[in-house]
Amino acid sequence: MRKRIVFAASVMMLASVLVFGQPQQQSAVSEPEYTFTVIKENPITSIKNQSRSSTCWSFSTLAYLESEAIRIKGLKDPADYPDFSEMFVVGQSYKERAVKYIRTDGHISFSPGSESGDVLHVIEDWGLVPQSAMPGLQPLPVHGELDATTKAYVDAILRNPNRTLSDNWKKGFDAIVDTYLGEPPVSFEVNGKTYTPAEYRDEMGIVPSDYVAITSFTHHPFYSSFVIELGDNWRWDPSYNVPLDEFMQILYDAVENGYTVAWGTDVSETGFTRNGIGVLLDESANSTAGSDQARWVGAEDAAKQAARKELPREKVVTQESRQKEFDNKLTTDDHGMQIFGLATDQNGTKYFMVKNSWGETGKYKGIWYCSDAFVRAKSVEFTVHKDALSKDLKKKLGIK
């Protein structure tokens, strides 16, 4: 076990964190002191920065697949770790989304947000590209113009009064995307060997059909699959539905057994800070310090009390409370990240270690510690290799 100790400081924390990875508003809150003990930590690649783009879905899923390549190929030296191109995936996704938007007469979401399943579709259809072969045309992605221009373009195509499209509209759209992101390479060289994107995907050992999405909601039957009703799920990919306790156990077992996870979650809670902590604050809870309970039951020794009193109390999460927050739009799919480890704080509370895509920011340089309660309440779904599931669960779900 290893410990990571944080100094106490008064910092600016987010009251409402972000939509698609971008911060919205801040309020000053005094942050408590956490001492984390790492229980399990699986390999990850370097921290990336999605900057001013809404492409967390590409960054998080490719971070996950980079770890998958490390696991599958048994890579030990970080110098050998892959670095996949996020903009290759983003560009292909935008192009395919435009086609579906036109085919459905604009009755799907056309926005920069998406899901992990979208990345797997792109990789299945088009392959993988290293960052060196398609780094994008900017040092950091800034997609305001791209997103506004592509949306205006497809809406203009829909308004075509003839209702009959030419053969050229798709070429025009693709040209916009390529102008902002760069043209996808037909072939490239890695370590002296030439690959096509499909060949490189296969060399990395990534088989998109080996990955499954898991969720937990009661408005569909358990041990079945359904399409989560979210605008970003524009491909209408299904997720397998399991009870909440089983959902969490899959996560714990996966990480303990050497797997990482692509995680889709809501980060608009006050307890998800810009400084590396994700907790489900129970803002109605009051301290018992000086209470009649403390008078008659007694208090902990001074050291334990000092450590414990600084940490916030969290809400109790049930299947019902989780469903209610989803139904009431208090839990939405704001952000994608990668779960890669487990830790505990000084009170023994369990946390998942999470790789973010906001650059090397915060106390942990781009790593977040998200509590069991936070993950239990605010997860929308996660994607994991099917071999991380138990044989019994795969049988229940009909996964071979």
Residue 212: give its domain's CATH number: 3.90.70.10
Identity (one letter) of the amino acid at 48? K
Question: How does pLDDT run across 38-56, given as a tens digit for each residue?
Answer: 999 999 999 999 999 999 9
Q: How far apart are CA 304 and CA 281, in angstroms?
A: 21
Q: How far apart are CA 65 and CA 367, in angstroms?
A: 17
Contact of 62 with 89, CB cutoff 8 Å: yes
Classify residue 174 as exposed, middle or buried by CB count within 10 Å of its CB (0-12, 13-18, 19+).
middle
- pLDDT value for 303: 53
Q: How far apart are CA 230 and CA 381, in angstroms?
A: 12
Question: 194 by DSSP, 3-state: which?
Answer: strand
Question: How does pLDDT run across 267-313, given as a tens digit for each residue?
Answer: 999 999 989 999 999 987 644 444 333 433 344 455 555 555 579 99
Question: 146 by DSSP, 3-state: which?
Answer: helix
Q: How far apart are CA 208 and CA 262, in angstroms?
A: 13
Helices marked H in the chain — which ranges?
56-73, 86-103, 116-126, 144-158, 169-181, 197-203, 244-256, 292-297, 302-309, 319-327, 372-378, 391-397
Question: 198 by DSSP, 3-state: which?
Answer: helix
Contact of 369 with 389, CB cutoff 8 Å: no
- pLDDT value for 374: 98
| Ranges of the chain with pLDDT below 50 | 2-29, 286-300
- pLDDT value for 285: 65
Residue 235 lies in a domain: yes
Q: How far apart are CA 27 and CA 200, in angstroms?
A: 46
Q: How far apart are CA 320 and CA 44, in angstroms?
A: 34
- pLDDT value for 2: 41
Tokens 């795969």 belong to residue: 394
Where b means 16+ CB within 10 Å and e means fewer, 125-136 reads ebbbbbbebbbb
Tokens representing 373 are 């309660």
Residue 309 lies in a domain: no
Residue 272 lies in a domain: yes
Residue 157 lies in a domain: yes
Identity (one letter) of the amino acid at 380? V
Contact of 383 with 61, CB cutoff 8 Å: yes
Contact of 279 with 373, CB cutoff 8 Å: yes
DSSP 52: B
- For 170-173, which contacts have Cβ atoms below 8 Å and span 24 or more sequence positions? 170/95, 170/98, 170/99, 173/95, 173/98
Residue 248 lies in a domain: yes
- pLDDT value for 234: 98
Question: How does pLDDT run across 227-263, given as a tens digit for each residue?
Answer: 999 999 999 999 999 999 999 999 999 999 999 999 9
Tokens representing 129 are 């590209």
- pLDDT value for 1: 53
Rounded alpha-carbon distances, angstroms, from residue 102 to 150, 152, 287:
12, 13, 56
Question: Given the DSSP bridges, would you call strands 9-19 and 22-31 parallel, antiparallel or unpaired?
Answer: antiparallel
Determine how many CB atoms are found less than 10 A away from the CB of residue 32: 17
Where b means 16+ CB within 10 Å and e means fewer, 67-80 reads bbbbbeeebeeeee
Tokens representing 243 are 């009870």
The residue segments making up the domain with residue 274 are 2-280+315-397
- pLDDT value for 30: 62
The CA dihedral of 345, 350, 356, 358, to the nearest 10 degrees, is -40
On the CB side of 338, how many CA atoms lie within 13 Å of its CA?
28
Tokens representing 371 are 């509590």
Question: 161 by DSSP, 3-state: which?
Answer: coil
- Count of structural domains within the chain: 1
Residue 291 lies in a domain: no
Residue 293 lies in a domain: no
Rounded alpha-carbon distances, angstroms, from residue 64 to 89, 144, 175:
14, 26, 29
Residue 300 lies in a domain: no
- pLDDT value for 31: 73
- pLDDT value for 47: 98
